[in-house]
Amino acid sequence: MKNNKISAVLFDVDGTIAETEHNGHRLAFNAAFKDFSLSWDWNTKLYSELLDITGGKERIRYYIEKYAPDKLKTSELDAWITHVHITKTKYFLSLLNRGLIPPRPGIIRLIKELRSAKIDIAIASTTTLKNVTTLLQSTLGKNCLSWFNVIAAGDVVPQKKPAPDIYIWALKHLGLQAQQCIAIEDSECGLRAALAAGLTTIVTVNNYTEKQDFTGASLVLSDLGEPSEPFTIISGTSHNNKLVNIEMLNKIAFHNDKLT
Ligand code: XBP
Ligand code: MG
């Protein structure tokens, strides 16, 4: 980190850039299940458990193994899951394209600030690449993809979060060391992945993740905050800042605080 200044920020997508899970992915899974004449209904309580399995295809397989073992007899089960997942992605993209999934507070502000300051911006997500690009474009405008130095998503690595692979892949393509960067995550799985890649990590919680264990994070916040609506600190110190901006990110990275 040159002169105590960060070189890049790596953003998780689902739950961090937008609240995509409850009224996005979950609804899309349920809509796809209907198309396949399945009576499966992923309600809030069940989905909260299923979120421990990152990746939609992996999540469907886990559900089958635990709650619908008869389906294990399906011939070419992996291909069948992929087929269901393609339908699920179609529904999810349609929700995004209808503007039904807005960005979380502070996201647009911080990304624009990083861009103006020429700090690298990267994405490290478990979700399908097309979901990421569509969400970014519906949030930041059609031409925004060039703002991102690296978009790491989905199946580019075999092991999804909490494995560090997607962060390691993103750092390699940024050409940066973890110590020069900060990750922003929303979940314990995501935090574990970022920490295992050596990244200082800030967590912005949501309804699904607020009770999770964020040991090792540098700071846990309600959200990134806006000038008119500062964040709430859940744990850690914000060094007297009321919203996450570059000045604060540099302090967090330099102080190297870690929650125990
Ligand atoms: C996000 C996920 C994703 C989505 C589904 O985790 O777990 O799997 O729920 O996306 P993270 P796909 O925010 O930690 O990246 O169905 O496209 O796999
Ligand atoms: Mg997430």
Active site residue 223: no
If one counts the domains in the chain, the total is: 2
Domain carrying residue 8: 2-18+103-255
What letters, b where the CB count within 10 A reaches 16 and e where it falls short, cover 153-173? Answer: bbeebeebbbbbbbbbbbbee
Do 117 and 205 belong to one domain? yes
| pLDDT single digits (tens) 200-258 | 999 999 999 999 999 999 999 999 999 999 999 999 999 999 999 999 999 999 887 88
CATH number of residue 89's parent domain: 1.10.150.240
Is residue 260 in some structural domain?
no
Q: Determine which residue's CA is closest to atom 14 belonging to ligand 1.
A: 190
88 CA: nearest ligand 1 atom: 16
Ligand 1 binding pocket includes 103 (Cβ within 6 Å):
no
Q: What is the pLDDT of residues 33-54, one digit of tens each?
A: 999 999 999 999 999 999 999 9
pTM: predicted TM-score of the whole model, two decimal places: 0.96
**Could you confirm whether 52 is annotated as catalytic?**
no
For 50-85, how does the pLDDT look when each residue is reduced to its tens digit (9 = 90+)?
A: 999 999 999 999 999 999 999 999 999 999 999 999
Clarify whether residues 85 and 117 are in a common domain. Answer: no
Domain boundary among 77, 97, 117: 97
Domain final residue pick, 48, 74, 97: 97
The HSE-up count of residue 167 (CA atoms within 13 Å, CB side) is: 30
